């Protein structure tokens, strides 16, 4: 944490202005105030419920990128394959895109064009992007990088509870828990202001237990650290439930009254002996017993999972195992207790609720549900039969680009898959095979460098909108200033493209006497307030019902928790108090069993490789790597090795090493640390080029969620 205001400078003199808004980075969505006085833009924290007056280094420096020299302020076009990008006007750029998309769809069909979004887009932009794909392009191919964030937890939560909301309770509940179990989460580096809530928990005498293959900054603050082999969290969870049942800690009344399917789970975990879990994971039986006791013998306990447990080819089952444990102990819906997931990206929650995900329509409706299609189609003024069906998950979509049966064109908004995708070299090759790649971004990211057309779009401080944080709290993002000359908002880009793809849309209104035809501008408005009003109507009656959420209501309070179906009625800070949103009102147990990682170690690749984040960088690093203070704090990639492993390899601290998998390699300096297991190596995923961690990672995916196995693959390490 840092005290004081961070100041960024920009040319020219502006009248003083101020905006109460939220940080552009993680899903904590810390409250902050932006002040512009003359050439200065100051960042100051707000005393908001999530961050309570704190910001991390990324938040303090967030304004530094607004007028960075790398900022794009004009569209860029590539006139020929292999040629350089050149500046162009907006009409020329949008005409090129519109003509290219029309030609490709005429030759190859509507699904020959795909859209790839991002978990940092506002609710309004995520909604408009999903609508644009399905109404203007009529393609089924849309997904987003949030598929690589919370999809396993979302699928497991929906399967068990009938609803997915990252935290089904306010963040402040963490501070009231007697026992808090964090599985694969490192908030001390990924969302530092959250640690204030954990400090409250410790001050009240609560116990913190962390499950992580590394002794992270968060694990160092824990009362107990379980250090399993990557990919064995499911075995740990089943062993914890085995212990709880053996010791008689089952909440029988809760299980009988509020759940179904427990008998099958009981039979399954009866064979999940703690000694076998120790053999698989390396976690001592005594630590497993202490963890089960700490969760089961207190009044309030919370279990949280994050990417470490979820980014696996069995991520859904792993999260399900921890949900089974929570249900058996009677935690979900109990005040101060429960299960939750720490969402990563700034709008990872809202981004999937309103249409970016391949199988969902706004309001968390399933796109293959006839009633959902009819409702949303009526709001959009189209025939439900005209809406495309489900698409494919993110990695499958990217891996099909440029192939005989795959999309020939891709529009990218708010994502940098050249760095962030698994098996990234293969994805990069797929992007190069496209007939048309269009990237809307604020800098020349690694993905934008491959594009045929680059469209410069507004930053977070230059547009209004809403975000939905990890609690399901809908927040207001407020603009401090207008975008620079030459820069347009994503909503304006979509409206401009719609105008070039369709003359007058959609036809259904006239066909069914629903009213006059809509112009593209009417169908794709550029005013975010107007888009949000439409989003409210589209979400009405759905699982994620925003119909009672208005900008005015958000402004009058510290956000509004969905579901909120009535503007004059209450919102829902806590879910599941009386019933679960399933047909019978009961949560569902589901039996799951441990299985090995998709790629086991062997003589040629004898080590386990895992990835994660560092404090001073964020996601693919396209933004944070350009901020001088963050670059000084974390200048480049590294490979973390245990000193014992380094000794066997003859590697010294700081010496460059190669990490080689069956898919590729990365090169970076070795960082020796006893915090990592001797059989495991770690690298952060924020850097491109030789240090690109995702050159190595496995593209095996979870069969339910489509989540790639980022967190474990087999590698060897060599001196470079």
Please, are residues 490 and 468 in contact by the beta-carbon 8 Å criterion?
Answer: no
How far CA 133 is from CA of 140, 388, 447, 482, in Å, comes to 7, 9, 20, 27
Work out whether strand 301-305 and strand 179-183 pair parallel, antiparallel, or are unpaired. parallel
Domains of the chain by residue range: 6-65, 76-148+347-456+490-526, 152-342, 607-719
Q: What is the pLDDT of residue 37?
A: 86
Q: What is the Cα–Cα distance from 39 to 7, expressed in whole angstroms? A: 10
Please, are residues 601 and 231 in contact by the beta-carbon 8 Å criterion?
Answer: no
Given 3-state DSSP classes, what are the helix, strand and coil percentages for the chain, each rounded to the nearest 5? 35, 20, 45
Q: What is the Cα–Cα distance from 366 to 374, expressed in whole angstroms? A: 11
CATH number at 607-719: 2.40.40.20
Note the CATH architecture for domain 152-342: 3-Layer(aba) Sandwich (3.40)
For residue 506, whether the previous peptide bond is cis, meaning omega lies within 30 degrees of 0, is: yes
Q: 37 forms bridges with which residues in the sheet?
A: 40
**Closest alpha carbon to 212 in 244, 189, 241:** 189
- Can you give the length of the chain in residues? 720
Q: What is the pLDDT of residue 510?
A: 44
Query: 405-459, pLDDT tens digit by residue?
Result: 999 999 999 999 999 999 999 999 999 999 999 999 999 999 999 999 999 999 9
Please, are residues 711 and 231 in contact by the beta-carbon 8 Å criterion?
Answer: yes
Q: Which long-range contacts (CB under 8 A, 24 or more apart) does 364-368 make?
A: 364/163, 364/164, 364/539, 364/542, 364/543, 364/544, 365/542, 365/543
User: Considering just the CA atoms, what is the radius of gyration of the chain in Å?
Assistant: 25
Q: What is the Cα–Cα distance from 333 to 341, expressed in whole angstroms? A: 15
Q: What is the pLDDT of residue 85?
A: 97
Q: Side-chain half-sphere of 571: how many Cα atoms within 13 Å?
A: 22
152-342 shares the fold of 6-65: no
Note the CATH architecture for domain 6-65: Single Sheet (2.20)
Q: What is the Cα–Cα distance from 691 to 450, expressed in whole angstroms? A: 19
3-state SS assignment for residue 579: coil
Q: What is the pLDDT of residue 527?
A: 96
Contacts of residue 498, Cβ cutoff 8 Å, sequence gap at least 6: 132, 136, 505, 520, 523, 524
Q: What is the pLDDT of residue 519?
A: 63
CATH number at 76-148+347-456+490-526: 3.40.50.740
Q: Which residues of the chain are modeled with pLDDT < 50?
A: 1-15, 504-513
**Closest alpha carbon to 41 in 62, 72, 71:** 62
Q: What is the pLDDT of residue 23?
A: 97
Work out whether strand 607-612 and strand 713-719 pair parallel, antiparallel, or are unpaired. antiparallel
Q: What is the Cα–Cα distance from 1 to 17, expressed in whole angstroms? A: 26
| Phi, then psi, of 291 in degrees rounded to 5 | -65, -45
């Amino acid at each position: 944490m840092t005290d004081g205001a961070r100041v960024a400078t920009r040319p020219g003199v502006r009248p003083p202005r101020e905006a109460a808004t939220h940080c552009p980075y993680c899903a904590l969505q810390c409250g902050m105030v932006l002040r512009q006085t003359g050439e200065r833009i100051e960042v100051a924290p707000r005393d908001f419920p999530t961050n309570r007056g704190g910001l991390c280094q990324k938040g303090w420096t967030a304004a530094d990128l607004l007028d960075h020299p790398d900022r794009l302020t004009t569209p860029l076009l590539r006139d020929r394959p292999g040629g350089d990008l050149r500046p162009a006007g907006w009409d020329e750029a949008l005409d090129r895109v519109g003509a290219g998309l029309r030609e490709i769809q005429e030759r190859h069909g509507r699904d020959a064009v795909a859209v790839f979004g991002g978990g940092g887009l506002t609710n309004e932009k995520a909604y408009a992007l999903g609508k644009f794909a399905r109404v203007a392009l009529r393609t089924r191919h849309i997904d987003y990088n949030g598929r690589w964030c919370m999809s396993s937890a979302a699928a497991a939560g929906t399967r068990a509870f009938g609803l997915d909301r990252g935290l089904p309770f306010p963040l402040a509940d963490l501070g009231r828990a007697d026992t808090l179990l964090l599985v694969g989460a490192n908030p001390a580096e990924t969302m530092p202001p959250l640690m204030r809530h954990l400090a409250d928990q410790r001050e009240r005498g609560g116990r913190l237990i962390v499950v992580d293959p590394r002794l992270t900054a968060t694990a160092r603050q824990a009362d107990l650290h379980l250090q399993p082999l990557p990919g064995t969290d499911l075995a740990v969870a089943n062993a914890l439930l085995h212990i709880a049942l053996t010791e008689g800690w089952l909440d029988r009344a809760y299980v009988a009254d509020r759940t179904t399917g427990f008998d099958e789970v009981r039979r399954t975990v009866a064979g999940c002996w703690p000694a076998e879990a120790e053999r698989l994971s390396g976690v001592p039986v005594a630590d497993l017993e202490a963890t089960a006791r700490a969760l089961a013998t207190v009044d309030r306990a919370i279990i949280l999972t994050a990417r470490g447990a979820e980014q696996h080819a069995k991520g859904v089952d792993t999260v399900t195992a921890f949900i089974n444990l929570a249900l058996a102990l009677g935690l979900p819906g109990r005040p101060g207790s429960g299960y939750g997931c720490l969402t990563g990206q700034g709008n990872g929650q809202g981004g999937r609720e309103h249409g970016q995900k391949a199988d969902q329509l706004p309001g968390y409706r399933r796109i293959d549900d006839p009633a959902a299609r009819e409702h949303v189609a009526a709001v959009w003024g189209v025939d439900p039969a005209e809406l495309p069906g489900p698409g494919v998950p993110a990695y499958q979509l990217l891996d099909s680009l440029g192939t005989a049966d795959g999309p020939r064109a891709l529009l990218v908004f708010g994502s940098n898959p050249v760095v962030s995708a698994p098996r990234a070299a293969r994805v990069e090759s797929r992007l190069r095979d496209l007939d048309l790649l269009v990237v809307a971004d604020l800098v020349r990211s690694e993905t934008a460098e491959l594009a045929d057309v680059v469209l410069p779009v507004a930053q977070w401080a230059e547009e209004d909108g809403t975000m939905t944080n990890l609690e399901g709290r809908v927040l207001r993002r407020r603009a401090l200033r207008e975008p620079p000359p030459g820069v347009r908002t994503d909503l304006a880009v979509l409206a401009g493209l719609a105008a070039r793809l369709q003359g007058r849309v959609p036809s259904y209104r006239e066909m069914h006497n629903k009213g006059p035809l809509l112009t593209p501008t009417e169908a794709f408005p550029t005013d975010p307030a107007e888009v949000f009003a439409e989003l409210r109507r589209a979400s009405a009656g759905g699982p994620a019902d925003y119909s009672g959420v208005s900008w005015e209501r958000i402004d009058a309070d510290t956000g509004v928790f969905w579901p909120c179906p009535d503007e004059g009625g209450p919102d829902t800070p806590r879910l599941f108090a009386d019933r679960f949103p399933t047909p019978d009102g009961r949560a569902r147990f589901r039996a799951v069993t441990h299985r090995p990682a998709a790629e086991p170690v062997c003589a040629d690749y004898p080590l386990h490789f895992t990835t994660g984040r560092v404090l001073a960088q964020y996601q693919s690093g396209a933004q944070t790597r350009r901020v001088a203070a963050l670059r000084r704090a974390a200048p480049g990639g590294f490979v973390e090795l245990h000193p014992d492993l380094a000794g066997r390899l003859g590697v010294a601290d700081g010496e460059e090493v190669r990490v080689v998998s069956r898919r590729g390699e990365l090169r970076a300096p070795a960082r020796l640390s006893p915090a990592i297991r001797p059989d495991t190596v770690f690298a952060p995923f924020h850097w491109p080029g030789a240090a690109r961690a995702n050159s190595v990672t496995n593209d095996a995916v979870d069969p339910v969620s489509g989540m790639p196995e980022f967190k474990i693959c087999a590698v060897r390490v060599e001196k470079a």
